[in-house]
Amino acid sequence: EQRYNIMENRHETVSDCEDTLKYNIYENEYSYETENSNLEYNIYEDTYEWSMDCEGEQ
């Protein structure tokens, strides 16, 4: 499912917290989400961040 989140200015591919690639225009980063985690690239800090996500959303 492709949707556009106008409040957060980003396109999201949504599949019940499975694979998601998001671009957040305000934070200037791409976030790739897997079932219980995501890998984020922070363009300002030039780093990749691995963080937990999608918990409690089932």
8 A C-beta contact, residue 39 and residue 49 = yes
Q: Tell me, what's the pLDDT at 52?
A: 47
d(CA 12, CA 5): 7
Give the number of other Cβ atoms within 10 Å of residue 11's Cβ: 14
Q: Tell me, what's the pLDDT at 10?
A: 60
Residue 25 has pLDDT above 60, yes or no: no
User: For the residues 2-30, what does the mean pLDDT come to?
Assistant: 56
Instruction: For residue 27, give every residue at least 6 positions away whose Cβ sits within 8 Å of its Cβ, in sequence order, or none.
Output: 42
- Give the number of C-alpha atoms closer than 13 A to the C-alpha of residue 28, restricted to the C-beta side: 6
Residue 38 has pLDDT above 50, yes or no: yes
User: For the residues 19-38, what does the mean pLDDT come to?
Assistant: 54
Q: Tell me, what's the pLDDT at 35?
A: 47
Domains in the chain: boundaries: 2-50
What is the residue whose two structure tokens read 């999201």? 12
User: For the residues 35-51, what does the mean pLDDT come to?
Assistant: 56
